[in-house]
Structure 1
Amino acid sequence: MSNKIVLIDGHSILNRAFYGLPDLTNSEGLHTNAIYGFLTIMFKILEEEKPEYLTVAFDVHAPTFRHKMYAEYKGTRKPMAEELRQQVPVIKEVLHAMGVLTIECAGLEADDLLGTLSKRCEEKGMEVSVISGDRDLLQLATDHVKIRIPKTKQGRTEVEDYYAKDVKEKYQVTPQEFIDLKALMGDASDNIPGVPSIGEKTATKIIAEYHSIENAHDHVEELKPPRASKALREHWDMAVMSKKLATINVTADFPYELYEAKLGSLYTEEAYDYFQKLQFKNLLSRFDVTKAAEKVEEGFLEISDLYTAKQVFLEAAGAECVGACIFKNGKDVLPLFADQAQMGGIGLCFQKDKSYCIRTGEGISEKWLLERLSETAGSAGRFVMFDLKEALAYLRLEDPKNCFDATVAAYLLNPLKNNYTYEDVAREQLEILIDEKAKEQVKVCYEAYTAYRASSLLWDKLKECQMDRLFADIEMPLVFTLYDMEKNGVKVEAEALKFYGSQLGSKIAELEKEIYEDAGETFNINSPKQLGVVLFENMKLPGGKKTKTGYSTAADVLEKLAPDYPIVAKILEYRQYSKLKSTYADGLANYIGEDKRIHSKFNQTITATGRLSSTEPNLQNIPVRMELGRLIRKVFIPEDGYVFVDADYSQIELRVLAHCSGDQNLIEAYREAEDIHRITASQVFHVPFEEVTSQQRRNAKAVNFGIVYGISSFGLSQDLSITRKEAAQYIEDYFKTYPGIKSFLDDTVKHAKEMGYVVTLFGRRRPVPELSSSNFMQRSFGERVAMNAPIQGTAADIIKIAMIGVHKRLKGRQMKSRLVLQVHDELLIEAYQPELSEVKEILREEMEKAVSLDVPLEVDMHTGENWYEAK
């Protein structure tokens, strides 16, 4: 290594990384993109420079000389974005953990520290590299001081390098003259006002000729063009101030010992812990973690003989906690039915220092292995797996009381993440990084080990957050309910589905023909670019918004035109029918199994509010607004001898809002079983109840449901096609009618801002990080989330309780009837004809008595020979 030092402008590089990278957050909700970008740039520079010394300089919050001067000119500087501000102390902690010297000094900016240090180090005969995104630092460039400016191009970081000769070549001025150049042209990014009417070209020409603003001022009458002469003469005071603002102090007085900046190993154990918490998986590979991994893996054993396997299961019998996993050769995902695939073996852990991978073969059959695992699970104090629902096809598990799904627990603690794999939990809870290239048997041992070790930590955190009862009483029993629903599936009449598709195809072809006739030409209706040209250039329709790729033909743009232009209405209709055909008529056919049923997957760890989602295929998104869309429900049919019973909560979210807000007017209206939308219309629009028009009722309904979702006056005006002022008045009158709701929503947002999360009636937490955003739109979104999440989340918890109750009673009475679908507030039962009256009774009781609220829960129930009739 050479006698070289790297000096980094801390805030500048953080700022560049923050705005150059997409937002990142770790599992605790900390924004991390600036930290990650800073470290990436720092590592790149260090690898290129290989310096002996490193120092990172930061600004301080106390105002400096230049802050004060700028404040006199133009007020205070723009405040730092909150998401960036919270990352500043963390990067300092990370750097200290890596043994990197950081400096800051009250009254001095980082520029002054860097300028002074570069001069001091150069005088000691050192080579200096200054890293900053601020071109003001180009004035520091010499033959031995190199200014390096990182730039992001197409997602990659490139660095521009400047010695003194490079500054002269690029800007036609020396580094010292660069100060004067900035004084004339200004720099908005660094709050240097410059001289009005003098741009970069003119400023460069003036300084290249006169070398300083003072000399230029002495020859002010000679300056060209005349407007530059006039500007400098009239704004000389601004030029002088700008030069002071642009000049970096290279003789500042502050303590600094070079030996403290000497670089050692950056990859310390303390730094590794920080990288784990920040979830910088890509950067963790820089650390030597083989020793830590070897220590954990010392207790990993692969077993392939029957005798040893028997001994392991004997030891596991009655263990306080057992972590397990089932794996299938070559694939991670287990099938819904155990007889559909060959499993490779199991992972088992019931001791702190041992984890086993027990393989099938050599006397160990699948059947024997799964029977022993089921016995072990039944005798364990706590039986832990990731994605337990996926393994239920293999195991004889009926009672969820001792079962612990680590995936569900991790989800409850942070419902904003995308996945909750054992690798994620190992990293977050155990601070273990699992090598992606590890052998299969090692991964199997790790999954069982993580399940065993993490369960107590997850449980303690659930109790700390008061979500232990939510987990034990709702989410864990729900795992078993959902498994049975998936296994049951729902029957689909394939021929009816095919006929439905042909109906849609005919309608699409008919619309296509009409659209071409109206347009006077043929074109690709599915091409936004071609459609935009036809509508806004050829047909001259108003409201065309041109983007980089052409005119916008998004739904919101076309919906405004549809009432006045029939072709646009037909295009929207065409799009709806095309989606129906591709997604449902054609799409659903791919999921019909050999048993003529669709076995959709129900996910309980996807949404942030606690609602279930449905995939492969999504049966919760079956269209309901269009009649032709609703008709698809006709293809879903019960088995012979069965009938569908569909039960749907009536206005559950409004009822939950009434209870949570304690608003007596709304509670009373529900208790008297009156038409809630008509009552709202009567009170908001000041008309007698009997005289409320259908339009007024529709508007009141929009307000009722809009309030639940934190609707704005703009949103309501769009929904009702009224002015924003009228919409604002509707909302104001609504809150006068139901003052308790206004107080509840305000208090909920206030609580979310203070605590960072909102809570349902059952303790489910939904973090709302958007409320701390520096972006107004994001904060507004956060407020809507804060208003809606407790209501929607509570409604989701209630339907889950009802599902569990219905499922338990059907199974407990050994009935043939079965729960087959859940669509948000709706349950669908495939009822055995002789059990129909009992099924209705169970459905009504379990749904209406799922929870006791200040207002009654009501259920609409219908039967039918297909889902369409039942709905």
Structure 2
Amino acid sequence: MSNEKVLLVDGNSIMNRAYYGLPLLSNSEGMYTNAVLGFINILLKVIKDENATHLGVAFDLKAPTFRHDKYKEYKGNRKGMPDELRMQMPVIKEVLKAMNINIYEMEGYEADDILGTLAHKAQESGLDTTVLSGDRDLLQLATDRVKISIPKTKKGTTTVENYFEKDVIDLYSVTPTEFIDLKGLMGDASDNIPGVPGIGEKTAIKIISKYHSIEEAYENVDELKPPRASKNLKENYDLAVLSKELATICVDCNIDFEKDNMVIDDIFNEETYKLFKNLEFKRLLEKFDSSIGDDEKSILPVNYNSIDTKDELKKLISNILGNKLLAYYIVTDNDKIIGVSVAYDKENAYFIKCFNELESTYVFEQLKNIFENKDIVKVTHGLKRDLHILAKYNIKCENVLFDTFVGAYTINPTKDTYDIDDIAREYLDIIMKSEEELLGKGRNKISYLNLSEEELINHCSMLSAIIFYSYDIIDNKINELDMHKLFYEIEMPLIYVLYDMELYGIKVDSVLLNEYAEKLGKIIDLLESEIYELAGETFNIKSPKQLGIILFEKLELPVIKKTKTGYSTAAEVLDKLKGEHPIINKISEYRQLTKLKSTYADGLFDYIGKEDSRIHSTFKQTITSTGRISSIEPNLQNIPIKMEIGREIRKVFVPEEDYVFIDADYSQIELRLLAHLAEDETLIEAYNDHQDIHRLTASQVFHIPFEEVTSLQRSNAKAVNFGIVYGIGAFSLGQDLHISRKEAQEYIDNYFRKYPSVKIYLDNCIRYAKNRGYSLTMLNRRRPIPELMSSNFMQRSFGERIAMNTPIQGSAADVIKIAMINISKRLKSENLRSRLILQIHDELLIEAHRDEVDLVKKYLVEEMENAVDISVKLEVDVNMGMTWYDVK
């Protein structure tokens, strides 16, 4: 028996499945890619699972087919293909051609007919064949050697249902050939095949399983049961025959089955690699042989050079000193410095090795004069990382003009990565290997030192060449987008502020942290006991399966949602079950506290420095699309403070001896910015008169005198105020306030009646973003919103919420950044010992020396309240304490 196996793919069907199976994705150029990515993932999985040796993909053409000639209304009720999917059809064909995969299209016929013909000819040639399609019409092609595979994609995971002839019989009680007659009787709404009125699937199965064909059934039409089926077939026999003809897949199209042309071979080639790179399919790049993409040397008109000796280094430094511009990149491997890539002109790039004869200490001693030379302009990629590295060698880098990493983020803040290979592709149209592609990842990751000499020199030298060639292009783009001030006055100076914050860190009292962990542990143990008592037995509370059995079988609570493995016990399910049983609140609290303990009470110990007892978090300025700063390792911005026990963890963060904490927090900055941006006179006047804005809103929305507003009404108005900023809908607001959707909509409508300028402003935000494809903050921070162009209602609605929220939230992010830069400059220019150590959303934390407390408070208020000049006064709440807990 031959080991050859043919895989035939229904291109349109699988693209459709892939499109709806993955969220809408796009690359940095705005090209939609989710259907292409999903298609390739499905295809590769099925090739592997089937051990396929031959492959062909069939597509429909726009031209009418022979079925339209027979029945003009054929597929007449089909909705048009979404634009986001249509755009991807030529892309998948380009990818398949690059992968050396045969594409079949034929005027007058559908992909089904092409697949049917190829499957028939493959079987005649004695080959086992798999037909991959989401269309069950193809079940008529199943035999003992032709298998129909129907994929199902959910959340990126694909499973496949397989049908040979016997499987079709088991499922429908008819043979694959009889399946055509089945379709003829029952019709097919998706293809607008009429069938016989009144005959559904169950009746059709009974008729065809007994009589085997429509013609035979008609011969015995008076005997058909039920009588209505007999009557309908008698009256609509011609329609049944027509429907059968429409449902019949042609297996004798004029297509040659040339097996040798369908061999799966060299699909992961250089051309495919470049396409996947441009489409940003990073995970798929792992499948390519390491030699693919190795033509890096010839990509730029640059000579790549290795600096191996002290004499060569000395000569290079002399040449650099004679130039005004230096692009550089420090190459590291697991925090160990491998070398320094430098380029000072367009002709040459150099890789200074930091091993063998040249050790890193010696290299940086020699480079110190370069880095600290104010006359040499430097451009780099990832300046904050550089500052940490150079500080270890007592080097202060001067006159750094440009960071391509932050520059690329400024232009498009919605991307996942801004690595040098991303920069090369996007701004220089150059394909180069990423570090992960070059070295691998996880256990299989190799060192730079394991690369061949040529590969090491070419790749590492190229890093600075890419920076040298691209920075001017990125800079011009920033200027073209009117973001020069944003980049040079906010993003670049912020790098140094974040570096200082990382360097200082925040002190943690390990004894207090240990006591806190023990306290949490006791509360969790008590909660466990209470949950077991309410459940009437012990079980694994963390197991969704065991918890589901307790809640929905033993305690018989109403089932909200089921999963493949049982009952859903997700947070949203528990929220809906609140009030049904006292165990629900206990479980919710248990989950919160166990997460708090593992992430912070226990987890923080790993981050405490042994020498200084301080946690040095990493602050990221290129993660969020709104411009907000984020914190990782550990995330100090996300400590849960809504629960009192969660807030208590702040007690373990303490200042150094002779220092105190001073905390400054913007008061309702987003609402103040909304008042300014919307030019709403009522809100502006209220803020400038220091009124309680939530009480005012309650008075306006609920038609109650200002003095009579209750605390509950004020709380509800607060939810409306902040909800409006985030484009909240009636459904979500109703859930938040535990009121009906109708009542929530009345709140929103009343709000906009009282603050009409806000409604106009938010509508204008959506209109602006739809017209231009992006939204802007006060300082011209730009956020692309491709979701606004989606044909999907949910995607479009999401895009509209982003369009409303980004100018406000993004402007708030810009304001806090300006405040951070200005307060840092002020503290340094005054030669104070106090320092900014944390930023948490709208809050700044200063570790202030006791002798400087009054000055720090004064400077904080001045710099934060005057960060921007707007029509609403910015207000800051300032507090002082001996722990982070005390100041909030």
Q: Which residue of 2 aligns with 1:746?
A: 763
Q: Which residue of 1 aligns with 2:338?
A: 344
Count of equivalent residues: 854
Residues 326-385 of structure 1: per-residue CA shift (max 9 Å, x gap): 234x51xx4xxxxxxx63332223343433222235664434422444433445764233
Q: Does 1:389 align with 2:389?
A: no
Q: Which residue of 2 aligns with 1:213?
A: 214
From 59, 68, 72, the counterpart of 2:61: 59
CA contact (8 A) 1:267 1:287 kept: no
State the distance in 1 between where 2:291 and 2:544 align. Answer: 52
Per the TM alignment, residue 232 of structure 1 is displaced from its structure 2 partner at its CA by: 2.5
CA contact (8 A) 1:501 1:585 kept: yes
CA contact (8 A) 2:834 2:849 kept: yes
Which deviates further from its counterpart, 852-861 or 396-405? 396-405
State the distance in 1 between where 2:884 and 2:860 align. Answer: 17
CA contact (8 A) 2:75 2:191 kept: no
- The 5 Å alignment of 1:651-666 reads 651-666=668-683
Residues 607-638 of structure 1: per-residue CA shift (max 9 Å, x gap): 22111111111111223222222222222111
Residues 668-695 of structure 1: per-residue CA shift (max 9 Å, x gap): 2222221111111111111222222222
Q: Which residue of 2 aligns with 1:556?
A: 572
Which deviates further from its counterpart, 264-273 or 378-387? 264-273
| Gaps in structure 1 of 5+ consecutive residues | 335-341
From 416, 419, 422, the counterpart of 1:424: 422
Per the TM alignment, residue 307 of structure 1 is displaced from its structure 2 partner at its CA by: 0.5
State the distance in 2 between where 1:741 and 1:391 align. Answer: 44
Per the TM alignment, residue 151 of structure 1 is displaced from its structure 2 partner at its CA by: 4.4
Which deviates further from its counterpart, 465-474 or 639-648? 465-474
Which deviates further from its counterpart, 266-275 or 670-679? 266-275
From 276, 285, 288, the counterpart of 1:285: 288
Residues 740-790 of structure 1: per-residue CA shift (max 9 Å, x gap): 111121222233333332221122222323334444333333322222122
Per the TM alignment, residue 66 of structure 1 is displaced from its structure 2 partner at its CA by: 5.0
Per the TM alignment, residue 210 of structure 1 is displaced from its structure 2 partner at its CA by: 5.8
Per the TM alignment, residue 481 of structure 1 is displaced from its structure 2 partner at its CA by: 0.5
Q: Which residue of 2 aligns with 1:300?
A: 304
CA contact (8 A) 2:297 2:304 kept: no
Mark the CA change 1:262 to 1:505 in structure 2 (over 3 Å): closer, same or farther.
Answer: closer
From 497, 520, 523, the counterpart of 1:507: 523
Per the TM alignment, residue 587 of structure 1 is displaced from its structure 2 partner at its CA by: 1.9
- The 5 Å alignment of 1:82-481 reads 82-94=83-95, 109-111=110-112, 133=133, 134=135, 136=137, 151=151, 179-195=180-196, 203=204, 212-223=213-224, 228-236=229-237, 238-247=239-248, 273-281=274-282, 282=284, 285=288, 289=292, 292-296=295-299, 299-317=303-321, 319-328=323-332, 330-331=333-334, 334=335, 343-361=337-355, 364-377=358-371, 378=373, 382-395=377-390, 402-429=400-427, 430-434=430-434, 435-437=437-439, 439-440=448-449, 441-442=456-457, 443-481=459-497
Which deviates further from its counterpart, 374-383 or 195-204? 195-204
Q: Which residue of 2 aligns with 1:339?
A: none
Per the TM alignment, residue 537 of structure 1 is displaced from its structure 2 partner at its CA by: 3.3
One-letter amino acid of the structure 1 residue matched with residue 844 of structure 2: L
One-letter amino acid of the structure 2 residue matched with residue 344 of structure 1: I
Per the TM alignment, residue 161 of structure 1 is displaced from its structure 2 partner at its CA by: 9.8
Mark the CA change 1:225 to 1:838 in structure 2 (over 3 Å): closer, same or farther.
Answer: same
Per the TM alignment, residue 394 of structure 1 is displaced from its structure 2 partner at its CA by: 2.8
Mark the CA change 1:400 to 1:780 in structure 2 (over 3 Å): closer, same or farther.
Answer: farther
Task: Name the SS for the 1:343 alignment partner.
Answer: strand
Per the TM alignment, residue 141 of structure 1 is displaced from its structure 2 partner at its CA by: 9.4
From 683, 692, 698, the counterpart of 2:709: 692
One-letter amino acid of the structure 1 residue matched with residue 330 of structure 2: I
Task: Name the SS for the 1:814 alignment partner.
Answer: coil
Task: Name the SS for the 1:573 alignment partner.
Answer: helix
Q: Does 1:632 align with 2:633?
A: no
| Gaps in structure 2 of 5+ consecutive residues | 440-445, 450-455
State the distance in 1 between where 2:656 and 2:602 align. Answer: 23
Q: Which residue of 2 aligns with 1:18?
A: 19
CA contact (8 A) 1:26 1:32 kept: yes
CA contact (8 A) 2:671 2:722 kept: yes
Mark the CA change 1:287 to 1:8 in structure 2 (over 3 Å): closer, same or farther.
Answer: farther
State the distance in 2 between where 1:677 and 1:584 align. Answer: 33
Residues 452-482 of structure 1: per-residue CA shift (max 9 Å, x gap): 3332333233333333332222111111110
One-letter amino acid of the structure 2 residue matched with residue 303 of structure 1: I
Per the TM alignment, residue 526 of structure 1 is displaced from its structure 2 partner at its CA by: 3.2
Which deviates further from its counterpart, 596-605 or 218-227? 218-227
State the distance in 2 between where 1:325 and 1:643 align. Answer: 39
TM-score normalised to the size of structure 1?
0.85
State the distance in 1 between where 2:847 and 2:339 align. Answer: 36
Per the TM alignment, residue 560 of structure 1 is displaced from its structure 2 partner at its CA by: 4.5
TM-score normalised to the size of structure 2?
0.84
State the distance in 2 between where 1:362 and 1:681 align. Answer: 72
State the distance in 2 between where 1:286 and 1:224 align. Answer: 63
From 513, 538, 555, the counterpart of 1:497: 513
Residues 235-289 of structure 1: per-residue CA shift (max 9 Å, x gap): 4354244224324578999x99x9xx99999899876654432124536838985
One-letter amino acid of the structure 2 residue matched with residue 590 of structure 1: D
Task: Name the SS for the 1:347 alignment partner.
Answer: strand
Task: Name the SS for the 2:641 alignment partner.
Answer: coil
Which deviates further from its counterpart, 827-836 or 360-369? 360-369
Mark the CA change 1:844 to 1:313 in structure 2 (over 3 Å): closer, same or farther.
Answer: same
Which deviates further from its counterpart, 671-680 or 211-220? 211-220
Mark the CA change 1:222 to 1:318 in structure 2 (over 3 Å): closer, same or farther.
Answer: farther
State the distance in 1 between where 2:211 and 2:128 align. Answer: 30
Which deviates further from its counterpart, 817-826 or 441-450? 441-450
Residues 171-200 of structure 1: per-residue CA shift (max 9 Å, x gap): 998987664343124445544353466566
One-letter amino acid of the structure 2 residue matched with residue 300 of structure 1: Y
Task: Name the SS for the 2:305 alignment partner.
Answer: strand
Mark the CA change 1:40 to 1:569 in structure 2 (over 3 Å): closer, same or farther.
Answer: closer
Which deviates further from its counterpart, 555-564 or 280-289? 280-289
State the distance in 2 between where 1:40 and 1:213 align. Answer: 41
Per the TM alignment, residue 706 of structure 1 is displaced from its structure 2 partner at its CA by: 0.8
Q: Does 1:649 align with 2:666?
A: yes
CA contact (8 A) 2:293 2:431 kept: no
Per the TM alignment, residue 586 of structure 1 is displaced from its structure 2 partner at its CA by: 1.9
State the distance in 1 between where 2:538 and 2:170 align. Answer: 57
Q: Which residue of 1 aligns with 2:443?
A: none
CA contact (8 A) 2:96 2:102 kept: yes
State the distance in 1 between where 2:711 and 2:87 align. Answer: 52
State the distance in 2 between where 1:548 and 1:7 align. Answer: 30
Q: Which residue of 2 aligns with 1:338?
A: none
Q: Does 1:778 align with 2:795?
A: yes
Task: Name the SS for the 1:357 alignment partner.
Answer: strand
State the distance in 2 between where 1:525 and 1:290 align. Answer: 50
From 535, 543, 548, the counterpart of 1:532: 548
CA contact (8 A) 2:18 2:153 kept: no
From 530, 539, 542, the counterpart of 1:523: 539
Which deviates further from its counterpart, 209-218 or 504-513? 209-218
Per the TM alignment, residue 728 of structure 1 is displaced from its structure 2 partner at its CA by: 0.5
State the distance in 2 between where 1:41 and 1:624 align. Answer: 44
State the distance in 2 between where 1:132 and 1:555 align. Answer: 38
Task: Name the SS for the 2:837 alignment partner.
Answer: strand
CA contact (8 A) 1:118 1:128 kept: no
One-letter amino acid of the structure 1 residue matched with residue 678 of structure 2: S
Mark the CA change 1:69 to 1:793 in structure 2 (over 3 Å): closer, same or farther.
Answer: farther
Per the TM alignment, residue 71 of structure 1 is displaced from its structure 2 partner at its CA by: 8.0
Mark the CA change 1:54 to 1:526 in structure 2 (over 3 Å): closer, same or farther.
Answer: closer
One-letter amino acid of the structure 2 residue matched with residue 392 of structure 1: L
Per the TM alignment, residue 490 of structure 1 is displaced from its structure 2 partner at its CA by: 0.9
Percent of residue pairs bearing the same amino acid type: 52
